[in-house]
C-alpha cells in the first residue's frame, strides 16, 4: 500500500551494533531510502549504491550474485560491459511495489569502491502514519564511522 508506513532497521554489516531505525511511506522509493541512510549515517560524499534482494536461504556471494538488484539511476541507465543481469532503477521503485514483509532482510551497498555494506530488516509494514515529513530517523545506535577512515588518521 502506498500510504503504508514501513520501519526499517539498517545495520552496518560487520558492525551490527551500529544501526539506524528509519520510517518511510510506501509511496517513497528505494532512492529515498538511500538518501535517508546517507543522512542517518552522517555521510558527506555521494556515491553510487545498490540494494540487493536475495532469494530466501541464499548466503554469501551467491546471494548477491543471484539477487534482484535495484541501483543508482546512473548505474541502471549504463551498467557497463560487465553487467550480467538486468539492473532496476532505485529511483523508479516504490517501496509499496516490493511486497515487503516483516522480518524480510535485504542488503544495501553504498560506494562501490569503499564498499559500505548494510543489512536492512523490515520491522513494520503498518506503522502509524504520524502526519509530517518522511523519511524519518526514529532511532540511532552507535556512532557513525567516518566515511573515509584512512583520511581521518
**pLDDT (tens digit, 9 = 90+) per residue, 84-115?**
777 899 999 999 999 999 999 999 999 998 99
Q: What are phi and psi of 75, to 5 degrees?
A: -70, -35
More confident residue, 132 or 153: 132
Interacting residues of 91 by C-beta distance below 8 A, sequence separation 6+: 29, 30, 31, 73
- What's the domain count of the chain? 1
pLDDT tens track for 114-141: 999 999 999 999 998 888 899 999 999 9
CATH number of the structural domain spanning residue 118:
3.10.290.30
Across the range 22-31, mean pLDDT stands at 97
What's the pLDDT at 86?
Answer: 77
What's the pLDDT at 127?
Answer: 92
pTM, to two decimals: 0.91
Query: Using 50, 70 and 90 to split pLDDT, how confident is the model at 1?
Result: low
Going by the DSSP 8-state scheme, the letter that residue 29 receives in this structure is B
What's the pLDDT at 118?
Answer: 97
Q: What are phi and psi of 106, to 5 degrees?
A: -150, 175
Query: Using 50, 70 and 90 to split pLDDT, how confident is the model at 5?
Result: very high
What's the pLDDT at 23?
Answer: 98
Question: In 13-90, where do the E strands start and end?
Answer: 15-25, 49-53, 68-71, 88-89
Tell me: pLDDT of 142 over 90: yes
Which of 69-73, 76-80, 135-139 has the least mean pLDDT?
Answer: 76-80
Determine the structural domain holding residue 86 and report its residue range. 5-152
Peptide bond preceding 91 in cis form (omega within 30 of 0):
no
Which of 20-24, 71-75, 115-119 has the least mean pLDDT?
Answer: 71-75
Across the range 6-12, mean pLDDT stands at 98
Amino acid at each position: 500500500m502506498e500510504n503504508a508506513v514501513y520501519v526499517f532497521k539498517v545495520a552496518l554489516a560487520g558492525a551490527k551494533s551500529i544501526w539506524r531505525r528509519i520510517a518511510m511511506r510506501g509511496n517513497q522509493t528505494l532512492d529515498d531510502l538511500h538518501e535517508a541512510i546517507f543522512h542517518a549515517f552522517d555521510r558527506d560524499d555521494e556515491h553510487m549504491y545498490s540494494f540487493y534482494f536475495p532469494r530466501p536461504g541464499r548466503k554469501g556471494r551467491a546471494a548477491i550474485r543471484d539477487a534482484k538488484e535495484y541501483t543508482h539511476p546512473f548505474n541502471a541507465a549504463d551498467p557497463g560491459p560487465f553487467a550480467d543481469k538486468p539492473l532496476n532503477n532505485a529511483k523508479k521503485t516504490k517501496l509499496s511495489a516490493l511486497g515487503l514483509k516483516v522480518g524480510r532482510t535485504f542488503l544495501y551497498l553504498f560506494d562501490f569502491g569503499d564498499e559500505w555494506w548494510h543489512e536492512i530488516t523490515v520491522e513494520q509494514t503498518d506503522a502509524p502514519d504520524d502526519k509530517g515529513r518522511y523519511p524519518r530517523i526514529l532511532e540511532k545506535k552507535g556512532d557513525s564511522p567516518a566515511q573515509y577512515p584512512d583520511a581521518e588518521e
